[in-house]
Structure 1
Amino acid sequence: MEPVLFYGNHAASSFGSIVALEWLGQPYRLSRLNLPFDAKSDSFTRINPVQKVPTLLRESGVPLSESSAILQHLAGRDPRRTLVYAPGSPEQDHLNQVLAFLHTDFWASFFPGFEAYDMELTGEKNPAMQEMLRHSGRKRVAKAHADLERMMGNNEWLAGDKRTIADAYFIGVARWAPFLAATGAKMIDPRDYPRLLRHYEKLEADPAVIFAHAIEDEKPATSAGGFLGHLSLEEVQTRIAR
């Protein structure tokens, strides 16, 4: 059986895993979760007790969670190493460093902004608290972008001379800046980070990224060939290793 990726319905960090699956071109299926409700269901909790996406159900029926682990697993399925470098090489060490930064400082920098946004959605408005969160978020997002741009240097891609899983994860998280700006919580001016802005725009034009956007938005989506369709949460239950 082909692997199944559980992904979120809106602005979820599972986006990067969809992009990586498309770049690999190997057969896979998707299962869409209406967050946060489906993630808290008994059916999904049996698959991932932490109730998070992305979660990958491998061919063996054993689930794997956390974006970093999933992306490394997907890259390892490709004997040509098209999305990573040779193990132990300086290039792979640098890729691992960039990935670690993306999964910690870069990812976490957006959370004050999302906390303020969630307070708006849930009706728990506290203007003073929300502005404090946004102020903290702006400083953190700006620093994370500045640090990442220095880390990128003059590379053609984020972590080196070729497209890697770091680029897949980056585009899934970097899109949170324009998302929050559209809600009225502008975190950064992208023009302050010209190399990252050019890279972001290049990735946004990539067919795999366009596909992932369409999938999240439930619009017609053209796959590179690996996508075999959706499975419901109920349909996936029969594939889980007992």
Structure 2
Amino acid sequence: MDKEYVVHGAAGSGSVPVEAALTLLGLPYRVVENAPWESREAADRIGQVNRLRQVPAVILPGGELMTESAAILIHLADRHPQAGLAPAPHTAERAQFLRWMVYLPAAIYSMFWVRDDPSRLAADPAAEQVISQRTAERIADCWRMMDEQVEPAAYILGDTMSVLDLYVTVMSRWTPRRRCFYEVAPKMAAVVRRVDADPRLTAFWAQRMPFGAGWEG
């Protein structure tokens, strides 16, 4: 049996698209549950693995550490090309795949370092409220700009699901949440709903990011 991947992550977090990719690939993995935003103790625990005190952090079967969700997703897709979870390097779609895989953490995911604890940048509670509001607005604007520049088919890059679709599907459930996402990103709305309903991920979503009451916001 192949050695397993060890995913340091948390339900509903940035580890979820990585876990979803591993699930689709049928690779052995286990999750070390850790939500560093919940307490200093939790942050200290993940800090022993990832100096940034962030999830996901993945120990590869060979023992190497990988951090940064986009990098992990690209690595998994390229390591297992037979699954078709990323356009091959020689294809026309590859450039746009890389563009948007980098755009998501640079433009959107990075906002959550502030949102998880606005006091990191705010001088007082009033400033924290301003930061929370304006980062939510910025996230919505970034989704809108992406949606204006993509032409999805069944999925964002065409007729085949990629790790980009997993990434967008999970991140679109974070603030300002799905109702806003459907409004500002109508072309990608159908894509994320399709990924939500993928039967290969039904049990996975129920465990790691359930569709509970009011989940769309």
TM-score relative to the length of structure 1: 0.71
Match of 1:206 among 185, 198, 205: 198
Deviation at 1:22, TM superposition (A): 1.2
1:166, distance to aligned residue in structure 2 (A):
0.5
Paired position in structure 2 for 1:57: 59
| Residue 115 (structure 1) shift | 4.2
Determine if contact 1:48/1:65 at 8 Å carries over to the other structure: yes
> What's the counterpart of residue 88 of structure 1?
90
Residues 20-57 of structure 1: per-residue CA shift (max 9 Å, x gap): 1111122222221143433412xx44432322211111
Change in CA separation of 1:59 and 1:135 when aligned onto 2, cut-off 3 Å: closer
Query: Using the alignment, how far apart are the partners of 1:189 and 1:173 within structure 2?
Result: 10
State the partner residue of 1:160.
158
Identity across the alignment (%): 23
Question: Alpha-carbon deviation of 1:109?
Answer: 4.6
Rg larger for: 1
The one-letter amino acid paired with 2:24 is W
**Equivalent runs, 1:74-223 vs 2, <5 Å:** 74-109=76-111, 113-115=115-117, 126=125, 128-177=126-175, 188=180, 190-207=182-199, 209-216=201-208
Cα distance change on mapping 1:196 and 1:115 into 2, 3 Å: farther
Encode CA deviations 1:115-153: one digit per residue, 9 max, x unaligned.
45x89xxxx982x32442243124312211111112322
CA offsets, 1:85-108, max 9 Å, x none?
111322111110111111211323
Aligned residues between the structures: 203
Q: Give TM-score, length-normalised by structure 2.
A: 0.78
Q: Which sections of structure 1, spanning at least 5 residues, go unmatched?
A: 219-242
1:236 aligns to what?
A: none
Residue aligned with 1:90, SS: coil
Pick the aligned partner of 2:44 from 22, 40, 43. Answer: 40
Contact 2:154 2:160 in 1 (8 A): yes
Q: RMSD across aligned C-alpha pairs, in angstroms?
A: 2.9
SS of the residue corresponding to residue 177 of structure 1 reads coil
Higher relative contact order (CA 8 A, sep 6+): 1
Q: Per the alignment, do residues 162 and 29 of structure 1 end up closer, same or farther by CA in structure 2, a change over 3 Å counting?
A: same
CA distance, structure 1, for counterparts of residue 52 and residue 111 of structure 2: 22
Counterpart contact for 1:110–1:140, Cα < 8 Å = no
Say if 1:2 and 1:134 are closer, same or farther in 2 by CA, change over 3 A. Answer: closer
Q: Does the 8 Å contact 1:98/1:151 carry over to 2?
A: no
Q: How far did 1:6 drift?
A: 1.4
Distance 1:85 1:189 in 2: 25
Q: Which residue of 2 is the match for residue 23 of structure 1? A: 24
SS at match of 1:47: coil
